[in-house]
Amino acid sequence: MRRALLSIAILLPCGSAWADGPRATTLQDRIDAAAPGARVEVSAGVYEGDVVIDKPLHLVGTGHPLLLGRGNGTVVLITAPDVTIEGFDIDGRKGGDLGKDASGILVAAPRATIRDCRVTNTLFGIYLKAAPCSRVEGCRVRGIKEKTAGEKGSGIHVWNTDGFTLTDNEVVDVRDGIYIQSSPHGTVLRNVARELRYGLHYMSSDDNVFEDNVFEHADAGTAIMYSRHLVFRHNQFLHNRGFASVGLLLQSCDDVIAESNLIADNARGVFIEGSHRATIRDNVIAESDVALVIFASASGTTVTGNSFVGNLAPLTLVGRRTDLAVIGNYWSDNDALDLDGDGRTDQPYRLSSLFDHLRGNLTAADLFSRSLSASALAAAERSLPVLDPVPVVDPSPLARPPALTSVPAPARRTPARPAIAGLTVSLATLSLGATALSRGRRRCVPLAEVTA
């Protein structure tokens, strides 16, 4: 009889009275009473108070019960291995201490699974802290909109975790969507991070794979640093704009492959500095102010088989030394002919120009990035080159866009934002490039068409 009553108590929400007595239990009481490895089902309702799970347990919410934290710490703390929690709404009441990692769910043990949880009003959303072989699946994290980026934590934070899987999650309105540090051998699939500082912020984590993710509407889509052996495949880096925004940034990273991605409508498409043997292939890189930013400190970079469409400038090369290999790409502003019909234009495509050199070495040149004078200066330089410190050419450019069927189609269309300051200045200096402009400015291709 006592065992039967205990089973009933596990199913009752906080504040409920037993049918045969006035006593009610908290969710923590139910967790404490469960045997290690038990499946504990929690019915719909509101459960107040932070909880600690210190034994292997499968905690399942029916009807998405709400766990309402105290507002001063982590709502769910997992300290035992082999814990699964699924089907809960978690509210941190907009409180807690960022320095103490206040989270919706904090995992500090191996082999946890967090599934189908919706986390709101917490500083960190879901935090894997030294939690090897853990999984976060199908969760939704929304941060505290009223706080600045410096006052918020990451949506999904992974630290010192060897072997992790993040799939089908959505993160909005936090500092960084997914933050990964000192965590190798991970798989990140089909996640969406938007409206934040960095979609993906990443340090010192080797041998990880990123596929079918969307990083959009951020100050920077990604910032990848101090790591090796990474693969980015079928991802979307979209609408990341600001003074120094970028779609995919590689800083001091070696042996990175980025293939079959859509990198579109960013201030800078791909940014590579201090990195070695990066391969950029079979991507669509479109509608960005600068398609590629490559520093002289990068070596062994290969750019091949990509489709560059509607970018203001193809390349900013920073420094005077490079072994950049650019071959066999499509460039939408390449007007050379393919007279022999071999699918390649009969002349090489020259990426570097006077304006692109200036913007790579003079920060103030970015103020002109969307101006008519910038296009005029670039066109004039192509007609009559006067400065070519490090010539960069594609010796065998494609005459037609390649059929990149593995590149994902954009999820939505966002109109490009005009640079009013650059346009104003360009009107005053337009006459400097009027002759060069007689060749015509390239067509702006809608984002919805670049993968058609």
Query: In this structure, are 325 and 413 located in the same domain?
Result: yes
Rounded to an integer, the average pLDDT of 406-418 is 65
Instruction: Please identify, among 190, 205, 220, the residue that sits at the C-terminal boundary of a domain.
Output: 205
* One domain for residues 272 and 199: no
Q: Over pLDDT 70: what percentage of the chain? A: 77
The DSSP annotation for 63-77 comes to S--EEE--SSS-SEE
Whether residue 118 sits in one domain with residue 53: yes
Helix or strand holding residue 316 (H, E): strand 313-318
10 part of a folded domain: no
Rounded average pLDDT over 287-293: 95
Q: What total number of domains does the chain contain? A: 2
Average pLDDT, the chain: 84
Pair (186, 287) in one structural domain: no
Are 197 and 307 within one domain?
no
Task: Name residues whose C-beta falls within 8 Å of residue 102's C-beta, 6 or more positions apart in sequence.
Answer: 72, 73, 74, 92, 95, 96, 122, 123, 124, 153
Query: Residue 410 falls within a domain, yes or no?
Result: yes
Compute the distance between CA of residue 154 and CA of residue 122 in angstroms, rounded to an integer.
Answer: 10
The last residue of a domain, from among 205, 238, 270:
205
Q: Between helices 354-361 and 372-383, what is the axis angle to 10°?
A: 120
> Would you say residue 257 lies in a domain?
no
Which of the two residues, 302 and 433, has the higher pLDDT score? 302
Same-domain check for residues 197 and 302: no
Joined tokens for residue 117? 């949880």
**Residue 386 pLDDT:** 52
Residue 187 lies in a domain: yes
Residues 417 and 270 in one domain: yes
In a domain, 381, yes or no: yes
Paired tokens of 361? 């070495």
Q: Which residue segment(s) compose the domain that 301 sits in?
A: 262-439+446-452
Q: Is the pLDDT of residue 15 over 50?
A: no
pLDDT band with cut points at 50, 70 and 90 for residue 413:
very low
Q: Do 215 and 177 contact (CB within 8 A), yes or no?
A: yes
Structural contact between residues 393 and 314, judged by C-beta atoms closer than 8 angstroms:
no
Clarify whether residues 186 and 303 are in a common domain.
Answer: no
CA atoms within 13 A on the CB side of 412: 9
pLDDT in tens, 129-159: 999 999 999 999 999 988 898 899 999 999 9
369 domain residue, yes or no: yes
316 and 415 fall within a common domain: yes
- What is the secondary structure of 370-407 as a DSSP string? T-HHHHHHHHHHHHS----SS--EESS-BSS----TTS
The reply to whether 430 and 329 lie within a common domain is yes
Identity (one letter) of the amino acid at 122? Answer: T
Please tell me whether the overall predicted TM-score, pTM, comes out greater than 0.95 for this model: no
Question: Quick one: 277 and 420 in the same domain?
Answer: yes
Cα-Cα-Cα-Cα dihedral sign, residues 347, 348, 354, 356? positive
pLDDT digits 0-9 by tens, 332-353: 999 999 999 999 999 999 987 5
> Which of these, 41, 114, 126, lies nearest to 84 by C-alpha position?
114
Which is higher by pLDDT, 6 or 95?
95
Answer yes or no: is pLDDT of 77 > 90.
yes
Residue 319 has what pLDDT? 85
Domain end, chosen from 205, 222, 247, is at: 205
Evaluate whether 18 touches 38 at the Cβ level (below 8 Å): no
> Is the pLDDT at 362 greater than 50, yes or no?
no
229 inside domain? no
* pLDDT attached to residue 65: 98
List the CATH number of the domain containing 182.
2.160.20.10
Q: Which pLDDT does position 380 carry in this prediction?
A: 57
Task: Kindly state whether residues 78 and 186 are assigned to the same domain.
Answer: yes
Indicate whether 367 belongs to any domain.
Answer: yes
Please say whether the dihedral angle defined by the alpha carbons of residues 194, 204, 317 and 306, taken in this order, is positive or negative. Answer: negative
